[in-house]
Chain A
Amino acid sequence: MSGWANYIVFMVATGGFYALLALSLNLIWGGAGMVNLGLAGFFALGAYASALLTVKLGAPILAGLAGALLVGAVGGYVVTMSTTRLRGDYLAIVTLGFAETIRLIANNEIWLTRGSDGVSGIPGPLKAELGSWFNAVYAAGMIGIVALVWFGLRRLDQSPYGRALRAVREDQQVAQVAGKRILRFKVEAFAISAAVAGLAGALYGHFNSYVAPDIFQPLITVYIFLAVAAGGVGRVSGAVLGAYLVVFFLESTRFAAAAIPGLSPVQHAAIREMLVGLALILVLRVRPQGILPERIPPAPRPASVT
């Protein structure tokens, strides 16, 4: 395989990582009305967990993925525990600081993370057997995993648990009066969401065979916000759609910016980043419900009234 096909296959896989991150964000932003500006940090936690388990301890990839889910969940739990009683503003700032702190640790704890050199040689599943088909098979696998997570989160969304989360989002006090244990709901939702972000990181590492602190910069979090906002906050399918749209958008601006004559490369680069910000603002302004608006399923009628 070569040329465009190769490129598109790669972007399908990349879209898969973005989609998992978007699903992660959608669960708490759309589901519980919380904001995670440190998505890059949880992405990093999972990526490093799986990379180090497989490279340093020689664990199988599946164990790496499980480790990533676990480390992500624990990270999410720790971050929310100290802030869930506060307004969302605080959580936003704490998560922002969390991501930077994770990046610093990855950069400086060389004995553990190999520092700014990064961890290379992360095994990919069946990489030797698949040869040049690795990317295509992995991309297909990503679609499968995204579908699986999508299915799981949709079930969660439509379950009584999802409705309870929405109640928390809409009005904490009312939810509390209705006997919902707000704090527990929020921490659980955040931990699940962080675990999914961790999974995305692990899968990213096994695909690219390399992770380094430089990958986990704040801009990737902005991309994911754009994905969820464009797809439709609160809509599980929207997050997936939005993620693929963002990858398409990021890549197509390459070609579009290059078409503007008379500009230096740095000006092209500036325009490309500007467009990301502009797109996010325009989506929030013009179509705040996103492409696929949230559908709130009606509560099931009780079978019998007692």
Chain B
Amino acid sequence: MDSLLQAALNGLVAGTILALPAIGFTAMFAVLRYPNFAVAAYATLGAYGGWMANAWLGWPAFVSLLGAFALAGVVGTAAERVVLEPLRPAGALTAAIAAIALNVILENVLRFCFGNDLLGYDLPLARDIRFAGLRIAPQQIENLTLALAVMGALFAFLAFTRVGKAMRATADNPDLARLKGIEPRRVELLAVFVGAGLCGVGGMLLGLDTSIDPLTGFRVVLSVFAAAVVGGLGSIPGAVAGALLIGLAEEFATLAIAPTYKSAVGFLAILLVLTLRPRGLLGERAY
């Protein structure tokens, strides 16, 4: 019983790591209507951005998350404007394929600049806190809090600010939004900035637990996609729910089937959800 509870707790922790990139991916999808497969590279960029702020500028790890957000956001926005936006008239799939190519390019730009050596942040690791027979790492509580705070801020932004409302309106119906005087293009670029930035923050949180190298984002990207699809592509609360679900499913799978099949869990979850509930758990509404 304890082992099940512990696995559930581990699953939640693993899920929160997936949640931020999944939100970023789904938010970009909600506004732009194509799956931006470059999220793996955006997450890796964030890990490096945070590392540069942490190691070169000497910022504390949690302040360095700003660096992660900024680098991934800026590169993501620039890539959208220069590479992906002009391809969107050719169709969502063309843009999606170009995003895969972009992912290859960004991964190798990082490899060119930093090599393949593993890098780490200057952040001391602490032993787990124990309570009621369970254990959790203090840093993971911080990650969880942080992920929740970012999600809260994002919801507030979408619900209460003018730009946020414009973003939701564009996601719901771009034509109607244009009639109301919202310029879709600005909203789109903003969505990419925030979306890619969140992937970057997620990538840095990932890097805190693992290590930073050109494949940091790639290793988890399938779970991120699975989270977004399971939750309903384009739905932000769906991405959060999907991420937690995938996290839980992967940990329970470790107990039930061979741990080597963890990466297949996301795929099975997608198949299952799409067969039973094709629009995802929470549908496709953006917020």
Contacts and interface: CB of A to CB of B under 8 A. Distances in A.
Interface of A: 29, 33, 35, 37, 82-83, 85-86, 88-90, 92-94, 96-98, 100-101, 104-105, 107-108, 219, 222, 225-226, 229, 264, 266-267, 269-271, 273-274, 276-278, 280-281, 284-285, 288
A93 B112 contact: no
B264 A100 contact: yes
B94 A88 contact: no
A277 B101 CA distance: 4
A222 B96 CA distance: 12
B81 to A, nearest CB: 13
* Main SS at interface, chain B: helix
Nearest to A86: B278
A288 B102 contact: no
* Main SS at interface, chain A: helix
A220 to B, nearest CB: 12
A81 to B, nearest CB: 9
B92 A88 contact: yes
Contacts of B1: none
B92 to A, nearest CB: 7
Contacts of A219: 104
B108 A94 contact: no
A271 B86 CA distance: 25
29 contacts: A82-B271, A89-B34, A89-B93, A90-B233, A93-B35, A97-B226, A97-B270, A100-B222, A101-B263, A219-B104, A222-B104, A225-B97, A225-B100, A269-B111, A271-B112, A273-B111, A274-B104, A274-B105, A277-B102, A277-B104, A278-B105, A280-B97, A280-B98, A281-B102, A284-B87, A284-B90, A284-B98, A285-B87, A288-B94
Interface of B: 29, 34-35, 83, 86-87, 90, 92-94, 96-98, 100-105, 107-109, 111-112, 115-116, 222, 225-226, 229, 233, 258, 260-261, 263-264, 266-268, 270-271, 274-275, 278
B260 A82 contact: no
A219 B108 CA distance: 13
Nearest to A93: B225
A21 B119 CA distance: 37
A280 B229 CA distance: 26
Q: Residue among A94, A97, A278, A285 with the most chain B CB within 10 A?
A: A97
A83 B274 contact: yes
Contact of A274 (B83, B108, B258, B266): B108
A274 B112 contact: yes
Given A273-B104, A285-B83, 15 more contacts: A93-B35, A93-B270, A94-B274, A97-B225, A97-B270, A100-B263, A105-B264, A108-B260, A225-B97, A269-B111, A273-B107, A274-B104, A276-B101, A277-B102, A280-B97
Given A86-B278, A90-B229, A284-B98, A104 B263 contact: yes
A281 B101 CA distance: 7
Contacts of B98: 280-281, 284
A33 B93 contact: yes
B105 A100 contact: no
A224 to B, nearest CB: 11
Given A274-B109, A281-B101, A284-B98, A93 B229 contact: yes
B235 to A, nearest CB: 13
A8 B168 CA distance: 55
A271 B112 CA distance: 7
Nearest to B268: A101
A97 B278 contact: no
Contact of B260 (A29, A86, A107): A107
Contacts of A285: 83, 86-87
Q: Residue among A29, A105, A277 with the most chain B CB within 10 A?
A: A277
A86 B276 CA distance: 12
Given A100-B267, A270-B108, A274-B104, A108 B261 contact: yes
Given A108-B261, A270-B111, A97 B267 contact: yes
Nearest to B278: A86
B108 A271 contact: yes
A133 B176 CA distance: 67
A214 to B, nearest CB: 15
Contacts of B107: 273
Contact of A92 (B35, B260, B263): B35
Contacts of A229: 97
Nearest to A34: B93
A98 B233 contact: no
Contacts of B92: 88-89
A270 B106 CA distance: 10
Contacts of A96: 222, 225
A167 to B, nearest CB: 16
